[in-house]
Structure 1
Amino acid sequence: MMRRRTTLLASCTAAALALGATACGGSPVSAGGDGKALDGQTITVAGVWSGSEQKNFQKVLDAFTEKTGAKTQFVSTGDNVSTVIGSKIEGGKAPEVVMVPQVGVLQQFAKQGWLKPLSKTAGAAVDANYASVWKDYGSVDGTLYGLYFKAAHKSTVWYSPDALDQAGVKPPATYDAMLKAGHTVSESGLAAFSVAGQDGWTLTDWFENVYLSQAGPEKYDALAAHRIKWTDPTVVEALTTLGKLFEDKQLVAGGRKEALSTDFPGSVEKVFGPKPEAGMVYEGDFVAGVAKDQFGRKIGEDANFFPFPAVTGGKAPVVSGGDAAVVLKDGKNQKAAMRFLEYLTTPEASAVWAGAGGFLSPNKKLDLASYGDDVTRETAKSLVAAGDSVRFDMSDQAPAAFGGTKGAGEWKILQDFLRDPSDPKGTAARLESAAAKAYKG
């Protein structure tokens, strides 16, 4: 999910790759290798990405090859990263590097003894280039295993300016105002929201933004660590708030049944595709990449966003996610793998994907000029400026059995809640039952 670099940035990045000396911002960088020191070596990198995300990550891999001589190959795991990587390790075909999309999975891998701690070089770069929260999420029991290369700003609501203009509404500042604006959009001929209910992870993101704003960061942290139960009144309150949106036929494009058969790309298509069915779609900054690359929308002109609004007197939430690079102990080429992670800590590596689009970096040393449009630039600025106050995606912090498995745990229970949002207390009880089993395991 993507954006185009400017001519100036392309020239600057190309020069940086050729000279291996500086990032576009002028800071010294190192790819973790000198010249073609890794000639003849190959690493396999596994991750969830497919489609345009995979293509853009391939540009980062190619830049590493150009710089070091190491060959790379990417393997897409699909959503069930834990199961796929476990099978590869058992079969003696472990990749060298995995881009792990959930904190809970990273912790699981570390506790199973699968991960190699990051090198001192990589650790020093994390200390220098990242807010400490990213180091915390990449560490287990005080040891740094994961480098957060790609981040997501998951507190963004994307909209068609034409749809809102036609309805005569402005981007809202509160959750209640957003629902009111949604009804006005609906009355003008389009549904308010396109909801990607086929992908359970999108529903966890909806819940997390409502919960963080309504319950506050302390409760959010406690629930994420399962220090409070999912039957807590704050959970029931957040589910009740979310259920009012889900059950409103005016607000959800095609109703709940159609939402449950709509995947994430399809939800973006319903707003920004050739035959719009809704005026808004909630999801992270990566919506822009799909709107631009698949449907030709110009970001900032015919596709824009507003921050996820504050709920019932709370503060506007800032929820993030991210993909952490880890090195597996069972991978055959440890040296090249660790050099690759050292490369990923540099602004230079981030600039490659930032220029291609559909990407945010938590690396505060990356020049914002690396991003190809003002909207992405502002989103990236907001994420970095949030520093240690940003809250990581709650489901990504949970054990994979609860927060990161298709057709199970939180994903499945929230899909059931979208299907029938009439019983928030019962849904909370089912969430607690599933969470208790997963955390105990």
Structure 2
Amino acid sequence: MMRRRTTLLTGCTALALALGATACGGDPVSAGGGDKSLDGQTVTVAGVWSGSEQKNFQKVLDAFTEKTGAKTRFVSTGDNVSTVVGSKIEGGNAPDVVMVPQVGVLQQFAKKGWLKPLSGTAQQTITADYAPVWKKYGSVDGTLYGLYFKAAHKSTVWYSPEALTQAGVQPPKTYDELLKAGHTVSDSGLAAFSVAGQDGWTLTDWFENVYLSQAGPEKYDALAAHKLKWTDPTVVKALTTLGKLFKDKQLVAGGQKQALNTDFPGSVEKVFGPEPEAGMVYEGDFVAGVAHDQYGKAIGKDADFFPFPAVDGGNAPVVSGGDAAVVLKDAKNAGAGMKLLEYLATPEAASVWAKAGGFLSPNKKLDLASYGDDVTRATAKSLVGAGDSVRFDMSDQAPAAFGGTKGAGEWKLLQDFLRDPSDPKGTAAKLESAAAKAYQD
């Protein structure tokens, strides 16, 4: 299952060109210089990554081995991290480190007493080198447990430069301009947007960007924590705004019915595949990986992005997701696991994956020259430059029953709304009913 977090295709997966990575000062990165103090120890790391993501993370683990002497072993959990890790803990075979893909899961692990607070060294690095928002999302009840090593930028609209040039359209700055540009693209022969309605998570991302810009960060935080009800007028207003796009057959490729039968990879194909049907597709920076890997598009030339535009005079939104490294308290080698986290907190570790491609780091000390191409650098600059205005994916902060389950909760209700956007107020009431139950359980 393709998740909006960083499960399969987060970051521009094959964008790394032949640039060498550099550390903050611009010198070539080396994982050497360690004291080999962990010789003979093995750190087991569990996470959702597979394929190219797992291979690239292994390069980071290999650099840690070179630096410290510790061996590493990566175990891919698939999407259901909570269940897999829980069964390993019960079986007395807990991994030392888990790369947690959702704030809600990190909070769940902490409340079960599974996590070890980060060391003073790791905390000092995070405080110095990361925007405070990342410390907030890694903490539970004031204790810092998680280090956000890998991030996603989920406020990017990807487009075919050829399609927009043919229509005479420039990347829009506001949501109203976005819809106007969409109609112009449609008039030139292509639908404006390819919408991946078969995957409910993409619709939550649409909503979150509109809501963050339109209602503002304080309301966003309150709704994410369910301190604000989904029946609030700001939610109805955001749904109404989104509904204008969803119900416009000129804007959505194939209309609502086809959108509901289009998954995320299919939505990218409709813009960048051999037979384009639309000029634009909204999703995170990981769109570039599909466009490049599957369809050979040169990023920055055949495929490019513009920031998700501001809605109703608000600020342009920056919604993110990410994977947080945590150390399990009852792990056999938790000490060495914490040393790995201290390493992952450094720009040196981040640069290893930045060089390999398919990666964004929230570490503001990572030299942007470490990234292999201008588009990835621009995406990273936007993410880091947003500072504390970044907001984590709202549905990833919710209990999985509401924000992360196929065919249920927010995913299903927004699919129903895409099918029939005529009653935003009724949809808001259904969302509130589902949220209230999930947050109570």
Contact 1:289 1:358 (C-alpha < 8 Å) held by counterparts = yes
Q: Within the alignment, does 1:2 sit opposite 2:20 as a pair?
A: no
Native 8 Å contact 1:122 1:341 kept in 2: yes
Map residues 393-408 of structure 1 onto 2, 5 A cutoff: 393-408=393-408
User: Quick check: 1:3–1:355 contact (8 Å CA) kept in 2?
Assistant: no
Counterpart-to-counterpart distance in 2, 1:201 and 1:221: 19
Equivalent residue, structure 1, for 2:388: 388
Cα distance, 1:360 vs. partner? 1.2
Go from structure 1 to structure 2 and tell me whether the alpha carbon gap of 1:55 and 1:316 turns closer, same or farther (over 3 Å shift): same
- The equivalent residue for 2:55 is 55
Structure 1 residue 6, shift from structure 2 partner: 4.9
Structure 1 position 262, deviation (Å): 2.5
* Contact 1:31/1:342, CA 8 A, preserved across alignment: no
Quickly say closer, same or farther: Cα 1:7–1:144, change in 2 above 3 A: same
Structure 2 counterparts to residues 255-334 of structure 1, below 5 A:
255-334=255-334
**Is 1:36 paired with 2:47?**
no
Q: Give the partner amino acid of 1:114.
A: W
- Structure 1 CA distance for aligned equivalents of residues 263 and 361 of structure 2: 25
Secondary structure of 1:227's aligned partner = coil
Q: Report what 1:353 is aligned to.
A: 353
**Alpha carbons of 1:196 and 1:351: their partners in 2 closer, same or farther (altered >3 Å)?**
same
> How many residues align structurally?
430
Contact 2:123 2:144 in 1 (8 A): yes
Confirm or deny: 8 A CA contact 2:31 2:66 kept in the other structure: no
| SS class of match (1:44) | strand
Query: Are 1:423 and 2:434 an aligned pair?
Result: no
Q: Say if 1:47 and 1:76, in contact at 8 Å, map to a contact too.
A: yes
Instruction: Give the superposition deviation at 1:8.
Output: 4.7
- Corresponding residue for 2:5? none
User: 1:181 & 1:351 partners in 2: Cα distance?
Assistant: 37
1:255 maps to amino acid: G
Provide, for residues 70-110 of structure 1, a one-character-per-residue CA deviation record: whole Å limited to 9, x for no partner. Answer: 33333333333323322333333332222112112111110
CA contact (8 A) 1:288 1:358 kept: no
Cα shift at 1:346: 0.7
Contact 2:19–2:371 at 8 Å: present in 1 too? no
Cα 1:437–1:41 change in 2 (3 A) is same
| Paired position in structure 1 for 2:229 | 229
- 1:7-33 CA-to-partner distances (Å, cap 9, x unmatched) read 4515x5xxxxxxxxxx35259999799
CA contact (8 A) 1:31 1:340 kept: no
**Deviation for aligned residue 1:112:** 0.9
TM-score by length of 2: 0.91
**Aligned equivalents of 2:78 and 2:354: distance in 1?**
23
Q: Quick check: 188-197 or 339-348, which moved more? A: 188-197
The residue aligned with 1:78 is 78
Distance (whole Å) between structure 2 residues aligned to residue 32 and residue 130 of structure 1: 24
Equivalent runs, 1:202-221 vs 2, <5 Å: 202-221=202-221
Instruction: Map 1:51-200 onto structure 2 (within 5 A).
Output: 51-200=51-200
Distance (Å, rounded) in 2 between the aligned partners of 1:46 and 1:261: 33
In structure 2, the CA distance between the partners of 1:49 and 1:258, relative to structure 1 (3 Å rule), is farther
Tell me if structure 2 keeps the 8 A contact 1:155–1:308.
yes
Q: Is the 8 A contact 1:121 1:342 kept in 2?
A: yes
Displacement of 1:294: 2.5
SS, match of residue 34 in structure 2: coil
Give the share of equivalent positions with the same residue, in percent: 84
Aligned letter for 1:366? L
**In 2, Cα distance between equivalents of 1:430 and 1:92:** 41
How many Å separate the matches in 2 of 1:254 and 1:77? 36
Q: Could you tell me how far apart the structure 1 residues matched to 2:322 and 2:221 are?
A: 17
**Greater CA deviation, 169-178 or 46-55?**
46-55
Give the distance between the partners of 2:57 and 2:165, measured in 1 at CA: 36
Runs of 4+ in 1 over 6 A off after TM superposition: 27-33
Amino acid in structure 1 at the alignment position of 2:270: K
Change (3 A) 1:335 1:210: same
Note closer, same or farther for the CA distance 1:44–1:417 as it changes in structure 2 (3 Å cut): farther
* 94-103 vs 124-133, greater mean Cα deviation: 94-103
* Farther-moved stretch of structure 1 (334-343 vs 60-69): 60-69
Where structure 2 has 5 or more consecutive residues not aligned to the other structure, the ranges are 1-11
Secondary structure in structure 1 of the residue aligned to 2:295 = coil
1:46/1:99 contact within 8 Å kept: yes
Q: Contact (CA 8 Å) 2:18, 2:372: kept in 1 or not?
A: no
Q: Contact 1:29/1:346 (CA < 8 Å) preserved in 2?
A: no
What is the rounded CA distance, in whole Å, between the counterparts of 2:340 and 2:273 in structure 1? 37
Which AA in structure 1 matches 2:220? Y
Structure 1 residue 273 displacement after superposition: 2.1
**Higher mean displacement: 309-318 or 83-92:** 83-92
Give the aligned partner of residue 8 of structure 2: none
State the secondary structure of the residue aligned to 1:157. Answer: strand
